[in-house]
């Protein structure tokens, strides 16, 4: 028995020549026990509108469409994003056009006058079958990915509680709550404490990424004084930076006082990550410059370091999940390779971007660019009225 998707198949024939449409219709009528319900669209604009309404199972598109062409339609709609196949028809066989339609993700290519009812039906059936199988594979991958994300989220939740317990107990022993600890043991306990802190940071990164990947992340925006926020972040990182004998210089290039709406906690974590990286991936004694600049639509927070920098070949993968590059400091400083991935997702949700450029003569410059106006209100954005 035919699967459901091979019954009552709604076909839209896009054809500006009435005689050709009647001919195609006739060929359809010759298909025995035809499962097709065939409709006609005679202009480019009408076809685009109907494709947008998503009412058909397959599109048969003629190449010549008045001032436009069938490939214009393919370019416009991107067939690879559709569950329905798009089949291009032409008056004459043309191998260049055939390649072009392939590149534009057409499901097949038919030359008018050289197909009969059997070939037409077979072409449509096979195209539908291929799309169906492709969709099944996509559904499986989506499901697999969801299961993987659930696993990461559950495992990290389960790991967090015992790891937090270890931190508390170690902290108590190190602080001397249960008596004085001999120096030799104290040294080891402090190292255990630091390892445990790293472990907790990785768990926290995994949980943050699981939340943003699950699509459950909601932005709670309020009006924030970016200047004040940056000073807070810098203050917080002061001791780590001083341990590395580094210096942070912060300057605002404009005289205006930049306040804008964003999710304070999330952007704070983004800035923490980028400033922490600037320090982590820089040698002792180096300097980090932080500045804020604004133009009509955006505010940019630039963090420039004199560190190891990033090789040009690595840049395309900079914001990918779990990606860490080999550099002279990467083993020493450790990390999860999740910070920049998460940061980019958060800044994207705000309608902003993170740019990277190398610093001269050495090091990196990361710019967090935020829009002065948030994107059109979406379900992802909640506005809380409170000002700082
Ligand atoms: P990690 O936890 O490894 O620091 P991130 O996602 O924050 O993860 O960064 C990914 C990788 O990008 C880092 O492992 C490092 O190789 C590189 N990187 C990030 N920031 C810098 C920087 N300021 N200078 C040099 N390399 C950097």
Q: Is 59:86 a contact under the CB 8 Å cutoff?
A: yes
63, pLDDT greater than 90:
yes
Q: Which pLDDT belongs to residue 387?
A: 41
Query: Rounded to the nearest 5°, which phi and psi values hold at 380?
Result: -80, -15
Query: Rounded to the nearest 5°, which phi and psi values hold at 125?
Result: -60, -45
Compute, in angstroms, the gap from residue 338 CA to the centroid of ligand 1.
Answer: 9
Average pLDDT over residues 293-303: 92
pLDDT-derived band at 216 (thresholds 50, 70, 90) equals: confident
**What is the spatial distance between Cα 348 and Cα 359, in angstroms, rounded to a whole number?**
24
189, pLDDT greater than 80:
yes
5, pLDDT greater than 80:
no
Q: Which pLDDT belongs to residue 152?
A: 85
Compute, in angstroms, the gap from residue 334 CA to the centroid of ligand 1.
Answer: 10
Compute, in angstroms, the gap from residue 283 CA to the centroid of ligand 1.
Answer: 14
Give the pLDDT confidence of 6-29 residue by residue, as tens digits.
Answer: 789 999 999 999 999 999 999 999
**What is the spatial distance between Cα 140 and Cα 120, in angstroms, rounded to a whole number?**
31
Which of 101, 78, 86 has its CA nearest to residue 131? 86
**Higher model confidence: residue 385 or residue 47?**
47
- Arithmetic mean of pLDDT over the chain: 91
296, pLDDT greater than 50:
yes
Q: Which pLDDT belongs to residue 243?
A: 93
Average pLDDT over residues 340-367: 96
- What are 17-22's contacts with CB under 8 Å, separation 24+? 17/62, 17/64, 18/42, 20/62, 20/112
**What is the spatial distance between Cα 203 and Cα 155, in angstroms, rounded to a whole number?**
9
**What is the spatial distance between Cα 95 and Cα 305, in angstroms, rounded to a whole number?**
54
Average pLDDT over residues 335-341: 93
Average pLDDT over residues 294-322: 94
**What is the spatial distance between Cα 63 and Cα 14, in angstroms, rounded to a whole number?**
9
Testing ligand 1's pocket by substitution, the residue of 246, 277, 279 carrying the most ligand atoms inside 8 A of its CB is 277
Give the pLDDT confidence of 231-286 residue by residue, as tens digits.
Answer: 999 999 999 999 999 999 998 766 666 678 899 999 999 999 999 999 999 999 99
As for ligand 1, residues whose beta carbon falls within 6 Å of it are 273, 277-278, 281, 305, 307-310, 318, 323-325, 327, 330, 335-341, 364
């Amino acid at each position: 028995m035919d699967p459901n998707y091979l019954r009552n198949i709604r076909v839209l024939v896009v054809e500006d020549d009435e005689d050709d449409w009647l001919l195609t219709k006739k060929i359809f009528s010759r298909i025995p026990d035809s499962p097709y319900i065939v409709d006609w669209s005679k202009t480019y604009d009408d076809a685009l509108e109907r494709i947008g309404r998503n009412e058909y199972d397959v599109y048969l598109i003629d190449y010549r469409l008045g001032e436009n062409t069938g490939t214009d339609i393919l370019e416009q709609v991107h067939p690879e994003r559709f569950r329905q196949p798009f089949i291009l028809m032409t008056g004459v066989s043309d191998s260049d056009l055939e390649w072009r339609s392939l590149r534009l993700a057409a499901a097949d290519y038919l030359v008018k006058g050289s197909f009969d009812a059997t070939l037409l039906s077979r072409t449509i059936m096979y195209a539908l079958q291929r799309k169906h199988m492709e969709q099944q594979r996509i559904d499986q991958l989506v499901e697999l990915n969801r299961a993987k994300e659930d696993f990461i989220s559950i495992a990290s939740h389960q790991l967090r509680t015992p790891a937090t317990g270890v931190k508390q107990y170690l902290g108590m022993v190190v602080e001397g709550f249960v008596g004085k600890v001999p120096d030799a043991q104290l040294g080891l306990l402090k190292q255990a404490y630091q390892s445990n802190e790293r472990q907790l940071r990785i768990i926290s990164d995994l949980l943050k990424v699981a939340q943003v990947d699950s699509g459950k992340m909601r932005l709670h925006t309020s009006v924030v004084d970016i200047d004040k926020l940056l000073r807070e972040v810098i203050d917080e990182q002061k001791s780590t930076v001083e341990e590395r004998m580094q210096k942070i210089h912060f300057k605002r290039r404009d005289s205006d006082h930049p306040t804008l709406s964003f999710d304070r906690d999330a952007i704070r974590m983004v800035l923490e990550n980028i400033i922490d990286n600037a320090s982590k991936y820089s040698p002792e004694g180096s300097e980090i410059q932080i500045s804020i600049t604004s133009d009509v639509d955006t505010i940019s927070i630039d963090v420039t370091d004199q560190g190891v920098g990033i090789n040009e070949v690595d840049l395309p993968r900079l914001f990918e999940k779990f990606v860490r590059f080999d550099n002279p400091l990467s083993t020493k400083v450790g990390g999860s390779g999740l910070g920049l991935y998460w940061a980019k997702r958060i800044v994207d949700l705000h309608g902003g971007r993170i740019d990277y450029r190398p610093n001269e003569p050495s090091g990196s410059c990361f710019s967090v660019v935020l829009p002065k106006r948030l994107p059109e209100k979406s379900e992802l954005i909640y506005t809380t009225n409170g000002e700082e």
